[in-house]
Amino acid sequence: MVGAQVEHVISILLVTLVSAAVVNAYQRDGLTGLRKKGEFIEAFKRRLPGRAKQGATALILVQIENWHALANSNKAIANRAMKDLATALLRAPVPHEMAARFEADAIILWKRCADDDAALKHHLELLQQRASECLAAKRLTAKIGAVRMGASADKAIRHVILATDRAALQASKIQICDAAFEAWLDMQARLKTRIETAVEQDLLVVLHQPIVDMISGKIAGTEALLRLRAEDGSFVSPVQFIPLAEQSGAIDEIGAHVLRTAARDNQMMRAAGLPSDLFISVNVAPPQIHAWSQLDAAVADALKSDTPLKLEVTESSAAQDESMHDKLVSLRDKGAKLAIDDFGTGYSSLERLGDMPFDTVKIDIAFTRKIATDAGFAMIDAIVRMATASGKDVIIEGIETAEQHALALKAGIRLGQGYHFGKPASVSDLITARAEGLPRQIRSHF
Ligand code: C2E
Ligand code: MG
Ligand code: MG
């Protein structure tokens, strides 16, 4: 009888232990052992009101840049990087209230912190140092966003994500959600509203920058570069509004509009006597490719009118996933040429270049700026060799000086783009420049 009772107690204990383990495994991230996102948010909201009375805290998000591209090519190294990062961050001196794997590539920390921005900044710099110590060997970097608690839990989570996105643009890769950042968020909200109605209200302007044959000096094509007209009539840079259009989904309509305008402009330029095979390069954002139908239709329209169309896709988006790859191949099969933009700034390695469905490699301005150094020239030389060996042509971006022009030719590059040859201009200015012999740099290409 006693034996049966003991057995019963043991079986209850076992069930309890096993279910605790199952719950734990369910709530914990298998790789880092940290909480999962949903559980973190739920616990954060529950504990915040009580914790607020005991002193200041901050929410900190640490995100590995380009982690997904690395995970696509080497999951084991990407996972090791994430695990090392988790260990390094939890080792930091200020104890954390809670930590979680917030996204596949990001860890969130809720920590005690001093009540001023300077102390918080100092702490974030320490975390950044810890992160770079463990990521540098894998050629990875981290960006960090932080928000001091005070706002509601929902607002804090929203703002820490936005601050982390913004951190990518800072030299320190750190962004605190302070008064200046909040003012910037307000400005972004206004810009977002403007972007959403931009096509309808005719607020978009497509400029064209010459891409020239650097040997003959003749124009070979143009890149369509978009501008948004601000309330005061000035132009807003695409670097500011394209990410907002991507977030809101407005990019599909805007992207299709750019493609149609660019195709029409290309016809005008060719009709006005510019080379009959003048190509037009149009930038395409990853969400346009994912959403597909508007892009597909606009590309088909451009090709129907015999526009020599090149689509530029950034390196990191090209490396995103299988479906992206298949869609790029489908665009190419239709007759569009594909260029990999800003090459060298993402994570794809030179050896993978041959496998990618691209016709053209655009070398990023960051390399051009170093072309006059031995190491910089050697880098460009390696890219050119690799591209050429895999049957791709090369365009070098950001040529600003005669010296860079000469060195690009020495590296065997024929096509170049940059202020040395011509800044982005309206289609009518390009055509008039040809007719009237306006600025020397533009005139020399016709
Ligand atoms: P990108 O495609 O790499 O375009 C080249 C950028 O470098 C352009 O900036 C151009 O004006 C600038 N640039 C050209 N030559 C020089 C030079 O010699 N020196 C310097 N410092 N800069 C030079 P922009 O027009 O501000 O465009 C920035 C980025 O915005 C583009 O980079 C592209 O990624 C994106 N973008 C532009 N138009 C569109 C568009 O229609 N759709 C999408 N999705 N993205 C676009
Ligand atoms: Mg481009
Ligand atoms: Mg580029």
pLDDT of residue 3: 54
Name the pTM for this structure.
0.77
The alpha carbon of 224 and the centre of ligand 1 are apart by a number of angstroms equal to 9
Among the atoms of ligand 1, which is closest to the Cα of residue 314? 34
pLDDT of residue 17: 42
Among the atoms of ligand 1, which is closest to the Cα of residue 226? 38
Name the residue among 260, 243, 320 with its Cα closest to residue 289: 320
The alpha carbon of 153 and the centre of ligand 2 are apart by a number of angstroms equal to 39
From the CA of 311, the nearest ligand is 2
- Decide if pLDDT at 272 tops 80: yes
Among the atoms of ligand 1, which is closest to the Cα of residue 238? 30
| Residue in this structure with the two tokens 């910089």, named with its chain if needed | 376
- Decide if pLDDT at 15 tops 60: no
Among the atoms of ligand 1, which is closest to the Cα of residue 424? 11
The alpha carbon of 338 and the centre of ligand 2 are apart by a number of angstroms equal to 11
- The closest residue, in CA terms, to atom 25 on ligand 1 is 225
C-alpha–C-alpha distance, residues 260 and 226, integer Å: 13
Among the atoms of ligand 1, which is closest to the Cα of residue 225? 38
Contacts of 319 (CB under 8 A, 6+ apart): 69, 72, 73, 346, 347, 348, 352
Name the residue among 198, 209, 266, 184 with its Cα closest to residue 235: 198
- Average pLDDT of the residues in 299-318: 90
Cα–Cα distances in angstroms (integers) from residue 387 to residues 168, 264, 307, 317, in the given order: 29, 31, 25, 19
Name the residue among 158, 155, 100, 89 with its Cα closest to residue 124: 89
The alpha carbon of 255 and the centre of ligand 1 are apart by a number of angstroms equal to 15
Ligand 1, pocket residues at CB < 6 Å: 209, 225-226, 237-239, 242, 255, 258, 283-285, 312, 341-342, 365, 397-398, 400, 417-419, 424
Tokens in use for 85?
Answer: 């990062």
* HEC-encoded secondary structure of 297-312: HHHHHHHHCCCCEEEE
- Decide if pLDDT at 95 tops 60: yes
C-alpha–C-alpha distance, residues 344 and 341, integer Å: 9
pLDDT tens per residue across span 131-157? 999 999 999 999 999 999 876 899 999
- The closest residue, in CA terms, to atom 42 on ligand 1 is 283
Query: Taking all residues of the chain, what is their mean pLDDT, rounded to a whole number?
Result: 89
- The closest residue, in CA terms, to atom 4 on ligand 1 is 225
pLDDT of residue 267: 96
CA geometry: angle at 208 spanning 204 and 210, to 5°?
A: 170
User: Which of 208, 283, 404 maximizes ligand 1 atoms within 8 Å of its Cβ, making it the mutation to test the pocket?
Assistant: 283
pLDDT tens per residue across span 229-244? 998 999 999 999 999 9
- Average pLDDT of the residues in 355-364: 91
pLDDT of residue 351: 67
Burial of 144 (0-12, 13-18, 19+ CB in 10 A): buried
From the CA of 362, the nearest ligand is 3
- Average pLDDT of the residues in 177-202: 94
- The closest residue, in CA terms, to atom 3 on ligand 1 is 342
- The closest residue, in CA terms, to atom 7 on ligand 1 is 398
Q: How many CB atoms lie within 10 A of CB 10?
A: 10
The alpha carbon of 340 and the centre of ligand 2 are apart by a number of angstroms equal to 8
446 pLDDT band (50/70/90 cuts)? very low
Among the atoms of ligand 1, which is closest to the Cα of residue 206? 41
202 pLDDT band (50/70/90 cuts)? very high
- Under 8 Å between Cβ of 233 and 286: no
pLDDT of residue 345: 78
pLDDT tens per residue across span 339-352? 999 888 766 666 67
pLDDT of residue 52: 75
- Under 8 Å between Cβ of 31 and 82: yes
C-alpha–C-alpha distance, residues 281 and 213, integer Å: 15
- Average pLDDT of the residues in 395-404: 98
pLDDT of residue 435: 58
- Under 8 Å between Cβ of 159 and 178: no
List the beta bridge partners of residue 229: 235
Residues in the chain: 446
Name the residue among 198, 222, 199 with its Cα closest to residue 210: 222
- The closest residue, in CA terms, to atom 35 on ligand 1 is 238
C-alpha–C-alpha distance, residues 418 and 363, integer Å: 12
Q: How many CB atoms lie within 10 A of CB 38?
A: 10
pLDDT tens per residue across span 19-33? 444 445 567 999 999
Point out the least confidently predicted range of 32-36, 199-203, 339-343, 441-445: 441-445
pLDDT of residue 443: 45
pLDDT of residue 366: 95
Among the atoms of ligand 1, which is closest to the Cα of residue 245? 44
